[in-house]
A and B are shown apart, each in its own frame.
Chain A
């Protein structure tokens, strides 16, 4: 490629959109510190940054600031997730009744949970109707639970040390993890969910932090190969997350056999 031809590609290069041959040729050229092309790349990075500021304004929820700061240990976690957790528990109970999803836990406990949850369900519906932004994740969780293809697995039921909870896997929507009694990860650390395939290495499935009450609602959105998935697991990782588990999973939820 000539300089002129390369000049036309630096924006796409910096966006990671070139094919491998073009990318390789540009990188080899840049390594020679050609001043003209270094300047062209700098201009391309500036143009790309300006494009990042073109979208329409969108205001993040206030809780996101706390969540971001807590995740790097810059501020104690003070999430307002108590209401979300209560609502999830309530709506989960309703879905279980209406949809007839088979619970693998103790039926007696489930009935008590249902009775307790019914009183909270009306409140949850009101909050949803009011469009409370804090419940956006709950709404996604509910859509998840209502899908007939969703399968569930439990964890922590027989162990003496919490956490406990359930995992829901939907081939088109992704993975939903609901857990309780999970203390927030220490400063500089974070929890990471993993999809454990029947063969091969675990695939990262998102970072999350529990709230001050030890509750978690974590969703990995996107298609999941249900047939090839053996289990969902969670480990504690450095705050930036890891591409492969670096600690032993403290949550492992084996999925039921795929029919």
Chain B
């Protein structure tokens, strides 16, 4: 399976000044931002919506949002990468929900979770090849059911109640799968970071 590792190396070299230049409305900074994160955002959105035309629209919407909200971004303490990925994922999940008629979760709720302030005190260094490898390794150690519920959460935007309906399993069972899976990932990533 081919992952994004070959293009992740570029993320390690992010110009710390990029967010400041974006806030100053430097057009070259926007081109640089797209060159760094455009492919990753497209891959993530394609994984979620599985429709190239829709993915193009959603990538465009992602970068327009970032451009228009970057004024609220703390370029001293914020991390652009995690923010861009959160915006991309949320745009795709919002689209998927509207296509599937799952409107009980509003776009406003997702909007709240991509506010730049939420991404303060993160570091772009978390987005590196080793960390993705560690996550992938940890993910492979999960049981099939644990992997399934995490994929439903991250890439389909299903709540635990929606997962229980989809999988025809008791809600308590689904919650146990999710909780156990996330704890295992946390432990593995934490141990790797310490090592």
How many B residues are at the interface, by size bracket? 35 or more
Question: Is residue B142 within 8 Å, beta carbon to beta carbon, of the partner chain?
Answer: no
With an 8 A cutoff between CB atoms, is A244 at the interface? no
Contact residues, A9-68 vs B (CB, 8 A): 11-12, 14-19, 42-43, 45-61, 64-65, 67-68
Given contacts A52-B44, A219-B53, A221-B54, contact A57 B39 (CB under 8 A): yes
Q: Is A196 an interface residue (CB 8 A)?
A: no
Instruction: State whether the Cβ of A162 lies closer than 8 Å to any Cβ in chain B.
Output: no
Q: Give the contacting residue for A240; candidates B46, B53, B64, B139; CB below 8 A.
A: B64
A15 touches B113 (CB 8 A): yes
A80 in the interface (beta carbon within 8 A) = no
Is residue B185 contacting chain A, with contact meaning CB distance below 8 A?
yes
* Docked-complex contact B27 and A45, CB < 8 angstroms: no
Contact count A vs B, C-beta below 8 Å: 200
Q: Which residues of A contact B99 (CB under 8 A)?
A: 221-223
Q: Is B126 an interface residue (CB 8 A)?
A: yes
Contact of A57 among B4, B113, B154, B155 (CB under 8 A): B4
Smallest Cβ distance from A29 to chain B, in angstroms? Answer: 15
B145 touches A (CB below 8 Å) = no
Contacts A57-B2, A67-B56: A17 and B160 contacting too (C-beta < 8 A)?
A: yes
Tell yes or no: B119 within 8 A of A by CB: yes
Which residues of chain B are near A45, meaning CB under 8 Å?
82, 86, 118-119, 122
Q: Is B19 an interface residue (CB 8 A)?
A: no
